């Protein structure tokens, strides 16, 4: 008798659980329009580093995700696409496909430090959140949630970029200014890199089986080099007072094979202990 | 003390250090209480495994430079067991992670620890535990160290057997993800009824019937700015095992509600899987026929992750798991998004004295498996596609026809002849270009030279016009009973179209076994490839170096 009651209670609990533990979603499946950042205060921008490679068949999906996030958050997203690992190694083919080397010293340094390509491509980092945890390296489907967690946050630092570009010498002078909006503690570094957009070249695309070799793929936000090394310069350290300012000009000579109308300067400030990017900004050189 | 210092060095592991000492204290306390009460104080047992490798960069085989030179994965289990109480923990150390394993394991700590109390009809576990409901198609928390998989649940498990033959299980927990936990919560119930134990009138019946059913639900917060995602995703299954004399029949059907995830490209379609298997066996002969249909059944406690991370369920592979090195070149990895699989296995023992059996008999094993896509029609909406349940898709994912003939020529000499014919769709299985057709032949000899010395040889050959071309591998191994063995092999890619890639992947190894301790030292080159267990795979990078492994238990 006692057992029968126990069984009935157990089955009853299971029934309640079954009834409540399923969320059936019916259309619409997508969220409404994003309200956009609050323009009355300095908002935190979201640095998305897309670790990619031209022979990585799933990497176009990550690029699409980056496009989607830019369509939602606009200029609040600061994108960088880094070509790294064997997937970015130049190859020799009769049709000259995949023969370019888009890897950079900075990209390789970051990849060696963060070991993103060891996890597999495509993966990426969102404002370098969660360093030291297994959530640090994010698949592209995690980027949207991670971005959403930052998008509504006020910034601790205001970052501005002023570029001047000499078209004959191809020298860029980029002056980066930072102002701490809140008082902080720690050491904060500024890294300034150059990205180039709309590079048309080969890309393997695994959306088909077998993967397609796309000859005219548009590579966006591609990391092309750094103005101050892979890890940047210290902008503030110790107890940093609200209102602390820092400014410095940097120069960079644009190689002739870079299209200057598609190049941008990307600057970001990160905590040297946690690597977390607390603010980022970008600006075209022309 | 050494362990304590190591654990404290690693951030995020402070709570695990505390739990470690709480557990040790509890075990000590239990032991002293039980000793005072003159109750059996129980026993402590455990084991240790250490795998280390020294790496040489080798541009010929694309073996990368490893800055640390030497890497090691280490595991030590300590378990306490008494009549009603069990406790245990596993200390793991990846300093740094061996090449080919996920680098996010880096660090040391205790992620697996548990306390279990069992008395009468109830068993309660607090902490980490592994569990499987049925064949695992809805829930399987397990460890497969060779693949770097450990999706143990951390929480509570209750097992309750109110009446003989009837068992309930309930679990709740978060899954392990490296040295952390996944964001989702997994809850599940399972019930299993053995009619022959439950009903007295059935206890003597020749027909044995076991039925079971389970329900599992995961919760993960929806913070996605793009999609409206289900936060609670339920999945259930029903199963039956029938046995009547020489015939047995097993089947399980699983269903999952809408579960948009990275793996299924965020479609809102439901998922299902049917597994059917029938076996006939009698002494000297056996036949098993199995079929499986999988449709959108990837089920994880984090919808955004990929690879082998945070899988709640396990979809068993119907393909044969081969052990010869060349036969493992093209292993099948289960495709949870959809596959139609069938397999048949037959064995026959030719008795000693028969025409084909000769004086010492002969064994024949035949195995065939084929996996195709499921038939789908794209719906061009968030449901993804529709699929006819019984229709087989046109794309071949994998096919394996293999024959194994074992012939004993004398009490001291035996030969095994193996032939495999494989079709491997790399596009689907690895996401890289290529559909390969390979023929593999293996001749193995085992010769007991003396009472203490035995020699084993293998001659393997792989023939293919695709991929890297033909391979040849001779292997010789001597074992000196009871402690030592030494072996050498040369895996030669003589058929590679690129001359520079006609590489010899040679290797030598020696091992020593004494009581519960086994050590092995190897040197050689390892080719890049896939390593799979039960249809789950990990990529193994090329390497060149010395490896050392030790296992021991107490």
Q: Would you say residue B7 has pLDDT above 90?
A: no
Confidence at residue B36, expressed as pLDDT on a 0 to 100 scale: 53
CB nearest to B228's CB, from A31, A34, A149:
A31
Q: Would you say residue B42 has pLDDT above 60?
A: yes
Considering only CB atoms, which chain A residues are within 8 Å of B167? Answer: none
Mutation test of the interface with chain B: which of A5, A9, A29, A129, choosing the one with the most B Cβ atoms within 10 A?
Answer: A29
C-alpha count within 13 angstroms, C-beta hemisphere, residue B542: 18
* A4 located within any domain: no
The distance of B270 to chain A (nearest Cα, Å) reads: 10
A16 pLDDT band (50/70/90 cuts)?
confident
Contact A30 B230 (CB under 8 A): no
Which of B96-105, B164-173, B368-377 is the least confident region? B96-105
Q: Is pLDDT larger for residue B41 or for residue A142?
A: A142
Which of A16-25, A189-198, A260-269, B519-528 is the least confident region? A16-25
Of all residues in chain A, the percent with pLDDT exceeding 70 is 94
Q: Would you say residue A202 has pLDDT above 80?
A: yes
Task: Give the residue on A whose Cα is nearest the Cα of B215.
Answer: A18
What is the dihedral angle through the alpha carbons of B175, B178, B181, B185, rounded to the nearest 10 degrees? -20
Confidence at residue B31, expressed as pLDDT on a 0 to 100 scale: 56
Q: Is pLDDT larger for residue A279 or for residue A25?
A: A279
Contact B162 A7 (CB under 8 A): yes
Confidence at residue B19, expressed as pLDDT on a 0 to 100 scale: 53
Residues 166-185 of B with CB under 8 A from A: 166, 168, 177-180
Question: For the whole model, what pTM was predicted?
Answer: 0.84
CB atoms within 10 A of CB B417: 13
The pLDDT tens digits for B191-240 are 999 999 998 888 889 999 999 999 999 999 998 888 899 999 999 999 99
Query: What does residue B438 show for φ and ψ, rounded to 5 degrees?
Result: -130, 145
The whole-angstrom separation of Cα B350 and Cα B64 is 50
The whole-angstrom separation of Cα B90 and Cα B87 is 11
The whole-angstrom separation of Cα B297 and Cα B306 is 14
Instruction: Write out A133-191 in H/E/C secondary structure.
Output: CCCCCECHHHHHHHHHHHHCCECCEEEEEEEEEECCCCEEEEEEEEEECCCEECCEEEE
Confidence at residue A1, expressed as pLDDT on a 0 to 100 scale: 57
What's the whole-number mean pLDDT along residues A78-91? 94
* A274 located within any domain: yes
* A23 located within any domain: no
The pLDDT tens digits for B478-508 are 999 899 999 999 999 999 998 988 999 999 9
Contact A29 B262 (CB under 8 A): no
What's the whole-number mean pLDDT along residues B181-198? 94
Query: What does residue B186 show for φ and ψ, rounded to 5 degrees?
Result: -110, 130
Listed residue (B506, B440, B443) closest to B467, CA to CA = B440
Mutation test of the interface with chain B: which of A10, A51, A118, A206, choosing the one with the most B Cβ atoms within 10 A?
Answer: A118
ipTM for the predicted complex: 0.78
> Inter-axis angle of helices B2-9 and B14-36, to 10 degrees?
150
Confidence at residue B26, expressed as pLDDT on a 0 to 100 scale: 56
Domain containing residue A100:
40-156+189-231+258-284
The pLDDT tens digits for B376-414 are 999 988 899 999 999 999 999 999 999 999 999 999 999
B29 pLDDT band (50/70/90 cuts)?
low
What's the whole-number mean pLDDT along residues A206-234? 92
> Which structure tokens are listed for B120?
């009468």
Query: What does residue A277 show for φ and ψ, rounded to 5 degrees?
Result: -85, 115
CB nearest to B304's CB, from A14, A115, A145:
A145
* A130 located within any domain: yes
The distance of B329 to chain A (nearest Cα, Å) reads: 20
Confidence at residue B1, expressed as pLDDT on a 0 to 100 scale: 30
Considering only CB atoms, which chain B residues are within 8 Å of A121? Answer: none
Query: Domain count of chain A?
Result: 1
Q: Is pLDDT larger for residue A13 or for residue B135?
A: B135
Considering only CB atoms, which chain A residues are within 8 Å of B434? Answer: 210
The distance of B174 to chain A (nearest Cα, Å) reads: 15
The pLDDT tens digits for A224-278 are 999 999 999 999 999 999 999 999 999 999 999 999 999 999 999 999 999 999 9
Q: Would you say residue B10 has pLDDT above 50?
A: no
Considering only CB atoms, which chain A residues are within 8 Å of B433? Answer: 210-211
Considering only CB atoms, which chain A residues are within 8 Å of B184? Answer: none
Indicate the average pLDDT of chain A.
Answer: 91
The pLDDT tens digits for B342-368 are 999 999 999 998 888 888 999 999 999
Contact A209 B395 (CB under 8 A): yes
Considering only CB atoms, which chain A residues are within 8 Å of B236? Answer: 18
Enumerate residues 6+ apart whose C-beta is below 8 A from B45. Answer: B79, B81, B553, B554
Considering only CB atoms, which chain B residues are within 8 Å of A144? Answer: 224-226
Of all residues in chain A, the percent with pLDDT exceeding 90 is 73
A13 pLDDT band (50/70/90 cuts)?
confident
Assign residue A103 the CATH number of its domain.
3.40.30.10
Contact A23 B180 (CB under 8 A): no
* A252 located within any domain: no
Considering only CB atoms, which chain B residues are within 8 Å of A17? Answer: 187, 189, 215, 217
B23 pLDDT band (50/70/90 cuts)?
low
* A193 located within any domain: yes
Which of A116-120, B340-344, B506-510 is the least confident region? A116-120
* A206 located within any domain: yes
CB nearest to A58's CB, from B266, B427, B431:
B431
The whole-angstrom separation of Cα A265 and Cα A175 is 10
Confidence at residue A12, expressed as pLDDT on a 0 to 100 scale: 75
* A58 located within any domain: yes
What's the whole-number mean pLDDT along residues B513-538? 84
Please name the residue that has the structure tokens 């003939």: B405
Confidence at residue B312, expressed as pLDDT on a 0 to 100 scale: 97
CB nearest to B168's CB, from A10, A31, A149:
A10
Confidence at residue B247, expressed as pLDDT on a 0 to 100 scale: 96
B22 pLDDT band (50/70/90 cuts)?
low
Q: How many CB pairs under 8 A join A and B?
A: 126
Contact B103 A115 (CB under 8 A): yes
What's the whole-number mean pLDDT along residues B274-289? 96
What are the DSSP E strand ranges found in B257-317? 271-282, 285-295
The whole-angstrom separation of Cα B19 and Cα B109 is 11
Which of A3-7, B296-300, B377-381, B452-456 is the least confident region? A3-7
The whole-angstrom separation of Cα B432 and Cα A211 is 7
What's the whole-number mean pLDDT along residues A131-160? 91
> Which structure tokens are listed for B288?
């098993």
- Residue B428, chain A, CB below 8 Å: the answer is yes
């Amino acid at each position: 008798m006692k057992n029968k009651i126990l069984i009935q209670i157990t089955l009853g609990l299971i029934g309640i659980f079954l009834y409540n533990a399923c969320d059936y979603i019916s259309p619409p499946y997508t969220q409404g329009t994003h309200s956009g950042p609050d323009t009355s205060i300095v908002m935190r921008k979201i640095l998305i580093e897309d670790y990619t490679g031209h022979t990585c068949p799933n990497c176009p999906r990550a690029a699409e995700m980056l496009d989607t996030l830019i369509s939602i958050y606009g200029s609040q997203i600061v994108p960088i696409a880094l070509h790294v690992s064997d997937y970015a190694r130049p190859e020799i083919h009769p049709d000259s496909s995949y023969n370019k080397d888009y890897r950079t010293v900075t990209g390789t340094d970051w990849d060696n430090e963060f070991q993103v390509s060891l996890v597999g491509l495509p993966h990426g980092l969102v404002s370098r959140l969660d360093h030291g945890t297994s959530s640090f390296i994010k698949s592209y489907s995690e980027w949207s949630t991670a971005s959403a967690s930052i998008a509504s946050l006020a910034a601790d630092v205001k970052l501005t970029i002023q570029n001047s570009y000499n078209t004959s010498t191809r020298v860029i002078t980029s002056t980066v200014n930072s102002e701490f909006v809140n008082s902080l503690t720690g050491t904060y570094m500024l890294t300034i890199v150059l990205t180039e957009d709309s590079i048309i070249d080969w890309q393997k695309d695994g959306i088909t089986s077998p993967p397609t070799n796309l000859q005219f793929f548009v590579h966006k936000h591609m990391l092309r080099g750094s103005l101050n090394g892979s890890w940047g310069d210290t902008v503030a350290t110790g107890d940093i007072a609200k209102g602390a300012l820092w400014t410095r000009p940097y120069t960079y000579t644009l190689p002739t094979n870079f299209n200057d109308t598609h190049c941008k300067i990307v600057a970001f400030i990160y905590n040297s202990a946690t690597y977390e990017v607390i603010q980022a900004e970008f600006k075209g050189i022309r | 003390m050494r362990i304590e210092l190591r654990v404290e060095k690693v951030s995020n592991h402070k709570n695990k250090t505390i739990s470690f000492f709480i557990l040790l204290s509890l075990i000590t306390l239990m032991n002293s209480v039980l000793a005072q009460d003159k109750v059996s104080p129980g026993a402590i047992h455990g084991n240790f495994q250490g795998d280390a490798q020294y790496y040489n960069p080798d541009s010929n085989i694309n073996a990368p430079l490893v800055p640390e030179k030497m890497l090691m994965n280490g595991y030590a289990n300590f378990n306490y067991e008494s009549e009603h109480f069990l406790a245990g923990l596993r200390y793991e150390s990846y300093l740094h992670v061996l090449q080919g394993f996920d680098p996010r394991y880096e660090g040391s700590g205790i992620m697996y620890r548990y306390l279990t109390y069992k008395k009468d009809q109830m068993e309660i576990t607090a902490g980490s535990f592994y569990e499987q409901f049925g064949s695992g198609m809805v829930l399987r928390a397990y460890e497969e160290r060779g693949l770097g998989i450990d999706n143990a649940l951390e929480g509570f498990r209750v097992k309750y057997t109110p009446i003989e033959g009837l068992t309930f299980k309930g679990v709740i927990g978060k899954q392990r993800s490296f040295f952390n936990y996944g964001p989702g919560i997994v809850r599940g119930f399972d019930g299993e009824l053995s009619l022959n134990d439950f009903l007295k009138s059935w206890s003597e019946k020749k027909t044995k019937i076991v039925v079971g059913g389970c329900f599992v639900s995961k919760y993960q917060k929806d913070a996605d700015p793009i999609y409206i995602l289900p936060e609670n995703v339920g999945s259930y299954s029903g199963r039956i095992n029938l046995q009547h004399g020489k015939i047995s029949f097993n089947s399980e059907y699983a269903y999952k509600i809408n579960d948009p995830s990275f793996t299924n490209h965020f479609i809102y379609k439901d998922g299902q899987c049917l597994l059917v298997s029938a076996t006939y066996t009698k002494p000297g002969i056996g036949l098993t026929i199995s079929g499986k249909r999988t449709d959108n059944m990837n089920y994880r406690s984090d919808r955004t992750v990929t690879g082998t991370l945070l899988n709640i369920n396990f979809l068993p592979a119907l393909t044969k798991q081969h052990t010869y090195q060349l036969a493992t070149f093209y292993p099948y990895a289960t495709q949870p998004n959809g596959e139609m699989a069938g397999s048949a296995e037959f064995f026959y023992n030719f008795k000693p004295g028969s025409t084909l059996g000769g004086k010492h008999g002969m064994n024949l094993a035949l195995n065939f498996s084929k996996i195709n896509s499921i038939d789908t029609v794209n719906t061009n909406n968030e449901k993804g596609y529709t699929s006819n349940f019984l229709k087989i898709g046109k794309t071949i994912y994998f096919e394996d026809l293999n024959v194994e003939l074992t012939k004993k020529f004398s009490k001291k000499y035996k030969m095994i002849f193996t032939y495999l014919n494989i079709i491997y769709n790399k596009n689907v299985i690895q996401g890289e270009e290529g559909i390969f057709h390979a023929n593999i032949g293996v001749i193995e000899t085992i010769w007991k030279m003396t009472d203490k010395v035995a020699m084993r040889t293998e001659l393997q050959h792989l023939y293919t016009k695709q991929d890297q071309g033909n391979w040849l591998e001779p292997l010789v191994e001597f074992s000196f009973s009871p402690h030592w063995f030494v072996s050498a092999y040369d895996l030669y890619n003589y058929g590679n179209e690129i001359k520079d890639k006609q590489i010899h992947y040679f290797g030598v190894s020696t091992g020593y076994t004494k009581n519960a301790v086994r050590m092995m030292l190897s040197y050689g080159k390892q080719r890049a490839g896939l390593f799979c267990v039960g249809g789950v795979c990990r990529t193994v990078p090329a390497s060149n170096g010395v490896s050392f492994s030790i296992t021991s238990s107490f």
